[in-house]
């Protein structure tokens, strides 16, 4: 083989050439020269590529939900309330921008605590044994003092549980959430403005929590039943019935899932009863490869009938929520007014 022939043959493998040009949009990011505009930057996400493009899809889908007056199911895990995203969730509830909330039990615990106590910034790199000795609990780089939970139990036992369970022994998680929100509103010593439970109760937004016992509030109900009233209990099937009806009675539905787990699945599962949700936006760091629901992308839910099979009615932003959820709220809610409103 001559050097010339060898070059010709190998070049076909290394640089085969384009047989048919792709018609996609030009890849181009935001130009930071000149006056800055957040909306223009987010618009440029469409052609930035990777997760930025998914973020732009998420923004447009939520705007479409609102334009079409979809019943919006907002789901999130408790770490969202542990973080500074609590304020964003409270804003959505205060403005009545969402219709159904589904979350995990820690959200209730920490939302109430934050009306009276502070969570503080710490470090990921910590001496865990030393923190335990000091009475400090670590949530990533957020620290929560154990005394906060001591206060919570005392508050629940004096301001919520006695009257709540005296009225009716068997309660549902939505009733618990509403009672907590109302109690926060009635207590002048508590700060209501950033409590999503308070604003949800004010706007009659049901807050579903299928795993209500899976946090401190469950622990305190255990002690209350052991020490105060052995007849109390939590009934979840009534709430499941209610959640299914929230879905099947809606003309159009949309799901915004911030994080994964039970809250996300309850939203898509309840929408299965109506033939699937019309829109779905996931913000997730779950890994698809383990086959779990937490890591399952929206397209998998299509196979189950939990999301309707349409073109561009769902997307997944594979990112940690504190980075992107504020951008979604800013562009799809704060800076956007549906044309028919």
Collapse the DSSP code of 17 into the 3-class scheme (helix H, G, I; strand E, B; otherwise coil) and give the result.
Answer: coil
Residue 254 carries which DSSP code? E
Report the alpha-carbon angle 80-136-133, nearest 5: 155
CA atoms within 13 A on the CB side of 204: 0
Q: Which residues are catalytic?
A: 306
CB-based contacts of 53: which residues, under 8 Å, 6+ apart?
45, 46, 47
Antiparallel, parallel or unpaired: β 136-139 and 100-103: unpaired
Q: Which of 120, 91, 86, 87 is nearest to 103 (CA)?
A: 86
For tokens 């006695």, the residue is: 162
Beta bridge pairs of residue 281: 256, 315
The string of DSSP letters for 297-339 reads: -HHHHHHHTSB---TTSEEEEES-HHHHHHHHHIIIIIT---T
C-alpha distances in Å from residue 149, one per residue of 55, 152, 173: 37, 5, 20
Question: What sign results for the dihedral spanned by CA atoms 120, 122, 124, 126?
Answer: negative
């Amino acid at each position: 083989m001559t050097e010339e022939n060898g070059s010709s043959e190998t070049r076909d493998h290394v640089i085969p050439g384009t047989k048919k040009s792709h018609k996609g949009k030009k890849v181009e990011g935001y130009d930071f020269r000149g006056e800055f505009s957040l909306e223009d930057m987010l618009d440029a996400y469409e052609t930035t590529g990777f997760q930025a493009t998914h973020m732009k899809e998420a923004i447009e889908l939520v705007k479409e939900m609102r334009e079409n007056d979809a019943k919006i199911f907002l789901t999130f895990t408790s770490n969202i309330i542990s973080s500074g995203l609590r304020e964003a969730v409270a804003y959505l509830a205060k403005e009545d921008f969402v219709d159904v909330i589904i979350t995990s039990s820690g959200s209730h615990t920490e939302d109430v605590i934050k009306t009276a106590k502070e969570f503080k910034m710490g470090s990921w790199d910590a001496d865990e044994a030393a923190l335990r000795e000091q009475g400090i609990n670590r949530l990533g780089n957020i620290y929560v003092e154990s005394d906060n939970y001591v206060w919570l139990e005392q508050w629940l036992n004096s301001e919520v549980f006695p009257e709540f369970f005296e009225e009716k022994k068997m309660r549902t998680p939505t009733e618990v959430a509403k009672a907590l929100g109302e109690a926060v509103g009635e207590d002048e010593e508590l700060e209501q403005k950033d409590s999503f439970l308070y604003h949800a109760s004010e706007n009659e937004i049901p807050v579903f929590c299928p795993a209500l016992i899976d946090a401190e509030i469950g622990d305190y109900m255990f002690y209350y039943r052991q020490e105060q009233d052995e007849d109390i209990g939590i009934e979840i099937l009534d709430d499941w019935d209610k959640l299914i009806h929230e879905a099947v009675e809606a003309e159009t539905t949309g799901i915004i899932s911030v994080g994964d787990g039970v809250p996300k699945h309850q939203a898509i599962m309840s929408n299965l009863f109506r033939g699937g949700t019309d829109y779905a936006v996931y913000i997730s760091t779950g890994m698809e490869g383990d086959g779990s629901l937490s890591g399952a992308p929206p397209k998998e839910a299509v196979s189950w009938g939990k999301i309707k099979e349409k073109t561009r009615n769902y997307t997944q932003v594979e990112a940690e929520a504190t980075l992107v959820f504020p951008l979604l709220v800013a562009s799809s809610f704060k800076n956007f007014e549906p044309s028919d409103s």
